[in-house]
Structure 1
Amino acid sequence: MSSEQINWSRMSLEELQTTWNTEVEPALQRGGVDLDERPTYQEVADAGYGGIAYALREHHELTLTEFLETVGYVEPDSDESYQWGIDDEITIDALEAFLRRIENKRAESTARSKRYRLATYVRLYERIHATASIVDRVRDADNQYDELRRVEAVLYELDDELESPESKLRYLSDIRQFYRHIETRHAGAFNPTENVDHGEIWEQQIPDSRDNPALSSEQVATLYTAIESPDEQLLVLGLCAWGLRRSEVASLHVSQLVLEGEDPHIAFEERKNGPGTVALIYGVSELADRIDVLGSDNREWNGYLFPSRKSSSGHVTGETIQARFKRVADRADVRVRGERPTSKTGRRYWYTTYNQAMTDLLENLDVIAGEQGSSDASVVLKNYLSEAERRKYRREFMRERLAKAFEVEP
């Protein structure tokens, strides 16, 4: 792919990192750039890839130097001498311990990306609250109510600084993971991010812009009626009704599924963005039927809902899910702004629908808010409803929205 064909602004950070490794670095090397040293902006621009700097600045809040750290260009001793920019050694120790655990599980570049986002968070926390004693505060259970408000204040400030919805969700995911680490590894008494709902903090998760196209309810309904197999049914449900990434759909395992009780869900030990569980509002019976068929047809079934004998992982790849989704879209003759929809447009449909459902819920709480003397319905949602009640209402309003697409005969 030539540099002119690359649409930097549409790429996620992970896609930019991959493009850097597969496209930019080889081109720099062919041009005689010494990759033992960190490339300069001028060297990158001279090679025809200067557009990456604009995309990083405008869509990911990163400079080129900060981005290059995530793909391996770190100054000598930078890990040991990293300046967190806060004045609290206990919190710094917790941050570094958390990142060491991430490095042991994932690529080093992932840990560097998380370090940048967490540094932004803790510096902003200190600026707003005149202290960075985050660990000490969550060790004291008496601070629980106050700390939730403190975290929300930082997130509201981040909302003004971050532009893309994807960046906001990445920040929230990393912040949640860090607080879980404090809770489990540093004697934290509570997790102040547990009840933070991104739909309440950031009202427009997926704006209707050219960079973030999403399927409409009518298009999802058309896709759902065009399916021709249980596999296709599950992948449309997984992407559009559950909001999963294509890699998460590909690797779904029966051990992750909780189908009984009042709160059926998919459990994830860890996700890049978002919660550790995903509610199953639609598709429970389809999942149960698929498990029964896979288990009865093959005694050696490995538990994956999309198994593959050819793959060493035991399941299909995300690219296979993408290809199957596109085949369904072709069969249904569905297009988004003139192009074939991808797994991302299905996932963005979920986010758009969730945002609409939260708006509906808050509008219905306006009456209660008025009776409590408040002009803000979100106060009722946070302060007067239990977590179980909030979850119940969110599911009900989300189910009503999803019904437009999924209460059709496939």
Structure 2
Amino acid sequence: MSETARNASGDPFEDVRWTTCSLTDFCELYWESVAPRLEADGRDPETHRPSHQWFRDEGLRGFLAALRRHHDRSFGDFWREDLGLGDDTGYDWATDHDETLDALQAFLDSRRSRHSLRESSIAAKRRRLNRYVEAYREANDTDDLLSPVVRDSDVPTHEAVHACYAAFDWLNEREYGARTKLRVRSVVDDWYQHLVGRRLAAVNPATGLYDEFKWQVEETDPSQFSPDHVRALVRAAESPRERLLVVALAAWGLRANEVASLHLSQIERDVAEDDTPYVTFEERKNGPGEVNLVYGLDALDARLADLVGDDWSGYLFPSERGATAHVTRETVWSWFRQLAERADLPEEIDGERPSPQLCRRFWYDTYTSVLESVMEGLEDIAAEQGSDDPRVVLSNYLSAERSRKVRREFMRQELAEVFETG
């Protein structure tokens, strides 16, 4: 590896064939080509983790890109897990500027403690903030987001605003979806306002984004079933049975008759560490099938705690009377409509009375949104492959298992934002 890692041009990786490099090879390249440059800068390569900006300044960004492309490794993961350096177990932010990192973390900590947000919601805000941090770094060639806005800054206000706008121009050029950019804008505005409110910043450069960037997102039609309707159902649920009812319909996407006859034996939770629990069906509309339970196992456990007993039949919605051991489809519809009335849902949604079918439609809509988010996350890799279509990466460069895992994690986060902010 030492000969391929060096050449006369000054680029130590010019002749490296990344496709043949194992993680062991990447470790050797780090020690042979990256570490000496750190030492030349007066830094200890065993304790000083180089920043994204340092790799950029040194012309070594190809190392990071290849590491992510061929081994799905961020440099933070590589530093900890493969090089075994340090005890850095924190989030892999797109900045190494200490003051910026402190300001980002303080904002999230305040939202966690003072807004009582769940960890899944904090993770979503952190992910969107980090997308802005990356865009800011790429657009402005710096990962110091704090100095331009602090009180007594030498940077004129108009330049601080321009740098913020430039980051969103970068997002536009990357063709992120309008919904994603709106979400990023919202949390960025909140972050800067947090800094202003605590007198850590003199200006919020994101204020004008609402007028400057007119991203067109199809407005939510109040006549259509939306996440807000699901949140209302979650808030109205008064028992483990009602909570599981909403989860099974809206988070698992099950049909009313499937919910009615759901049995504990159908739930498979004994899966590999990296796999997802699922519910199985011997007979379904389109034949036998499985549904991944990416969210809602806590609701299932709460329901089981209510049911377990010597005379329990194993059905999650047992019938107290009737010809079958479980409730009927009609009972599920009745329960749902009682809950919808208590949740004060509109009398008509999508031109019909609220029903379990709308929850299943919500599940499909959410999954479609997840696929869009996955595509956005693959755009950088697609660009490195010379493609404008991230679906090329999804089909050609990610294993089927990895592709499923990515989709499931995005789905879990989307569902958590709905159910845990109810």
Q: Which range, TM-score by smaller chain? A: 0.3 to 0.5
Higher helix share: 1
Task: Tell me the TM-score normalised to structure 1 length.
Answer: 0.45
Higher alpha-carbon Rg = 2
